[in-house]
């Protein structure tokens, strides 16, 4: 059928845009790094929020955990962390090319692992909660984490800490982090595309539709929920590590655990695009990022108002999102059909004609 | 090994001051079809919920295949092969019928990495065969939530069969199903029992259905076991007639 061909064209287009846009418009490379970050946010939020029916408001926690874990490793592998972050320090800290990249590789790996470990431990606590209680419980985790890190002197407290400088031209660092974020977005998408095709995808959908029934049928619900959150945490942890280095400076409330900006954006993007679908979060993220940047450029001063209006409209009038709307309008595009319905209809017509 | 699949011994379950089950004992014969009847509010569903571990019991013992299960949780009991369907039909509404079937595989046979198993043709064929068995094959790509109530009951039954249980507990399988479909359902229940060797334990309000189906019947009233015996014995028992007519 043509849909297979159309799909491969779509994939090639997205890949081509991802590769060539930053070359054509080098001034916007930072914006596009953020765009891929938004895509990762939306995709990872949708694992729980869309596919499993658990609206987490605290997924941003893993973003911050990854960011701080990577930063701590990257610095402490070569310097004393307490001295590095002390306000009176003032020393010169340089990282050679190999130090920089070794630290980054180790740091990113640890970031992913620490996030997963946190997801497993915290999952035991919060997965006893359902519905709005889960949302509030997870929000509390992210908020508390931000406040706790603010008081942690070792990592600079509320003053934050700077990450190792890129050993080379600044443009080189921009290209590097753009490529990393782009590749991570592709990896996240591909992984989830595979994941949703396995039994795991069906099981978390079952938990979404009726968790009690799923338990009654013998599905290991806690195991599935924990693994789903760990996958989310894995990709968010790496994303946080990349973003920390991209930003070159991290601090707890605005950058690492921003529950009121990134933490809410990820929910909104998924709702806008259509939750519980693979492409919904991607479409939602792209659309949202464009709208957000346009309002920041042309409605400066009113940008938060515009964003608020967008949130209200989406949540109140357009909960099903773009993909959900398409699914209602054209169910046959998504394979929802009665077998042999056409045949039976024509049989009935013949019968009536006789 | 005894010839009973489930042995309930003297269980009591109260909700606050309400005694839902009092000293209830019964046996579900292996390979047979056992019925459970009783007026509304007599504690039938509570008894079902106690057996499958939905809530803890106050006292007594429940054995499944000679194993004490009264402290087990719902998922553990389901994975032992003791499965129940719900009175208020429960299916996965936003998934299509095939997906509903594919996720209802017997989870007792799966390990950790089987979570990530791809769809295999054997499971797919099994799902198709069972959907055909309950007469939903043509509607298999529809979302389960869009099916009629009766069709959802059939789907739930097919999902239960997909799970390959040794004992299946059905809570009012014919409630809300139109009378012409009921005969087909009785036939399918009997075939599930005979061909697949599944022991059935059925709550039913429709006397015609249960008298036709079961080989042994228990009658609950006011949370206590009132009578038991062969269908015609129970049917003619004065206490049962009184309970249903409200003489109690």
Q: Per-domain residue ranges for chain A?
A: 2-319
Q: Which residue, chain included where needed, has tokens 């009766």? A: B150
pTM of the predicted model, to two decimals? Answer: 0.90
Q: Which of A210, A215, A341 sits opposite B75 (nearest CB)?
A: A215
Are the beta carbons of B115 and A205 separated by less than 8 Å? no
**Which residues does B114 contact at the CB level (< 8 Å), separation at least 6?**
A199
d(CA A329, CA A270): 19
Q: How far does the CA of residue B185 sit from the closest CA of chain A (Å)?
A: 21
Closest Cα of chain A to B184: distance in Å? 22
Report chain A residues whose CB lies below 8 A from the CB of B142. Answer: 336-338
| Residues of chain A contacting B75 with CB distance shorter than 8 Å | 215, 218-221
Q: Is the distance from CB of A302 to CB of A295 less than 8 angstroms?
A: yes
SS3 B211: helix
User: For A2-319, which CATH class?
Assistant: mainly alpha
Closest Cα in chain B to A211: B92
Q: CB-CB: which of A203, A218, A276 is closest to B79?
A: A218
Name every chain A residue with its beta carbon within 8 A of the beta carbon of B138: 338-341
Query: Average of pLDDT values for B194-198?
Result: 92
Mean pLDDT for B212-225 is 91
> Is residue B1's pLDDT more than 60?
no
Q: How confident is the model at residue B180 (pLDDT cuts 50, 70, 90)?
A: confident
For residue B234, give how far its alpha carbon lies from the nearest alpha carbon of chain A (Å). Answer: 31
Tell which of A51, A207, A216, A339 to mutate to test the B interface (max B CBs under 10 Å).
Answer: A216
Average pLDDT, chain A: 90
Inter-chain CB proximity A340 and B138 less than 8 Å: yes
Query: A338, B142: Cβ pair inside 8 Å?
Result: yes
Q: What would the pLDDT profile of B112-167 be if each residue is shown by its tens digit? A: 888 998 888 999 999 999 999 998 999 999 999 999 888 899 999 999 999 999 99
Domain ranges in chain B are: 4-245
Q: Do A199 and B117 touch (CB under 8 A)?
A: yes
**What's the CATH fold of domain B4-245?**
Rossmann fold (3.40.50)
Interface probe, candidates A217, A319, A332, A340, chain B, greatest B C-beta count within 10 A: A217
Report chain B residues whose CB lies below 8 A from the CB of A338.
138-139, 141-142
Please indicate whether, in this complex, the C-beta atoms of B94 and A221 are within 8 angstroms of each other: no
8 Å CB contact of A216 and B142: no
pLDDT of residue A1: 45
List chain B residues with CB under 8 Å of A227: 115
Per residue in B5-26, pLDDT (tens digit) is 999 999 999 998 899 999 999 9
Give me the residue from B78, B139, B143 closest to A218, CB to CB. B78
User: Mean pLDDT throughout B94-119?
Assistant: 91
For A200, the closest of B96, B105, B115 (CB atoms) is B115
Q: Please report, to the nearest 10 degrees, the dihedral formed by the alpha carbons of residues A289, A262, A223, B83 taken in order.
A: -70
Chain B residues within 8 angstroms (CB to CB) of chain A:
52, 74-75, 78-79, 83-84, 86, 90-96, 99, 102-108, 112, 114-119, 137-143, 159, 163
Arithmetic mean of pLDDT, B87-112 = 91
* Cβ-defined contact of B115 to A224 (cutoff 8 Å): yes
Say yes or no for a CB contact (<8 Å) between A217 and B107: yes
What is the b/e burial string over B118-141, where b = at least 16 CB atoms within 10 angstroms of the residue's CB?
eeeeebeebbeebbebbebbebbb
Q: Which long-range contacts (CB under 8 A, 24 or more apart) does B130-135 make?
A: B130/B101, B130/B158, B130/B161, B130/B162, B131/B97, B131/B98, B131/B101, B131/B158, B133/B158, B133/B161, B133/B188, B134/B158, B134/B188, B135/B184
A196 to chain B, closest Cα gap in Å: 9
Least confidently predicted of A215-224, A345-354, B198-207: A345-354
Q: Do A216 and B119 touch (CB under 8 A)?
A: no
Contact at CB, A202 and B99, closer than 8 angstroms: yes
Q: Do A339 and B107 touch (CB under 8 A)?
A: no
Average pLDDT of every residue of chain B: 90
pLDDT digits (tens, 9 = 90+) for A141-185: 999 999 999 999 898 888 889 999 888 888 889 999 999 999 999
- Length of chain B equals 248
């Amino acid at each position: 059928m043509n849909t297979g061909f159309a799909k491969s064209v779509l994939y090639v287009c997205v890949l081509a845009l991802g590769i060539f846009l930053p070359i054509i418009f080098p001034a916007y490379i930072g914006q596009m790094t953020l765009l891929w970050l938004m895509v990762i946010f939306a995709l990872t939020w949708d694992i729980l929020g869309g596919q499993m029916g658990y609206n987490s408001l605290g997924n941003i926690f893993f973003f911050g955990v990854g960011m701080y874990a990577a930063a701590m490793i990257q610095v402490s592998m070569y310097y004393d962390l307490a001295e590095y972050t002390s306000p009176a320090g003032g020393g010169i800290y340089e990282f050679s090319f190999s130090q920089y990249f070794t630290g980054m590789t180790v740091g990113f790996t640890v970031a992913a692992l620490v996030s997963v470990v946190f997801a497993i431990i915290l999952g035991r606590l919060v997965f006893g909660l359902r519905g709005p209680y889960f949302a509030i419980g997870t929000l509390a985790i992210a908020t508390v984490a931000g406040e706790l890190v603010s008081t942690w002197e070792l990592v600079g407290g509320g003053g934050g800490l700077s990450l190792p400088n890129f050993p080379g031209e600044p443009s080189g660092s921009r290209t590097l982090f753009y490529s990393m974020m782009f590749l991570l977005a592709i990896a996240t998408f591909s992984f989830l595309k595979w994941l949703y095709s396995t039994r795991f995808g069906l099981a978390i959908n079952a938990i979404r539709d009726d968790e009690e029934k799923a338990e009654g049928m013998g599905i290991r619900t806690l195991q599935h929920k924990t693994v789903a959150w760990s996958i989310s945490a894995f990709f968010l942890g790496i994303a946080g590590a990349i973003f920390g280095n991209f930003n070159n400076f991290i601090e707890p409330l605005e950058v690492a655990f921003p529950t009121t900006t990134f933490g809410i954006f990820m929910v909104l993007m998924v709702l806008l695009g259509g939750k519980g679908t693979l492409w919904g979060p991607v479409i939602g993220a792209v659309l949202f990022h464009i709208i957000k940047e346009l309002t920041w450029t042309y409605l400066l001063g009113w940008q938060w108002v515009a964003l608020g209006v967008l949130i209200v409209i989406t949540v109140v009038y357009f909960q099903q999102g773009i993909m959900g709307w398409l699914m209602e309008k054209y169910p046959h595009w998504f394979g929802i059909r009665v077998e042999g319905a056409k045949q039976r209809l024509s049989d009935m017509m013949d019968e009536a004609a006789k | 090994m005894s010839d009973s699949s489930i042995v309930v011994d003297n269980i009591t379950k109260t909700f606050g001051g309400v005694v839902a089950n009092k000293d209830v004992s019964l046996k579900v014969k292996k390979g047979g079809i056992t019925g459970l009847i009783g007026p509304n509010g007599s504690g039938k569903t509570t008894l079902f919920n106690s057996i499958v571990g939905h809530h803890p019991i106050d006292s007594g013992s429940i054995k499944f295949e000679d194993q004490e299960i009264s402290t087990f949780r719902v998922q553990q009991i389901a994975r032992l092969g003791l499965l129940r369907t719900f009175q208020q039909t429960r299916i996965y509404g936003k998934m299509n019928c095939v997906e509903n079937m594919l996720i209802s595989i017997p989870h007792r046979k799966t390990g950790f990495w089987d979570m990530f198993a791809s769809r295999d043709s054997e499971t797919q064929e099994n799902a198709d065969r069972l959907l055909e068995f309950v007469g939903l094959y043509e509607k298999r790509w529809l979302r389960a939530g869009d099916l009629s109530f009766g069709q959802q009951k059939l789907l739930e039954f097919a999902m239960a069969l997909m799970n390959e249980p040794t004992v299946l507990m059905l809570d009012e399988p014919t409630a809300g199903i139109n009378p012409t479909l009921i005969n087909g359902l009785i036939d399918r229940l009997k075939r599930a029992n005979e061909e697949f060797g599944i022991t059935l334990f059925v709550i039913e309000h429709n006397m015609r259905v249960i008298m036709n189906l079961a080989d042994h019947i228990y009658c609950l009233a006011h949370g206590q076991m009132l009578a038991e015996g062969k269908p015609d014995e129970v049917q003619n028992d004065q206490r049962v007639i009184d309970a249903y007519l409200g003489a109690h």
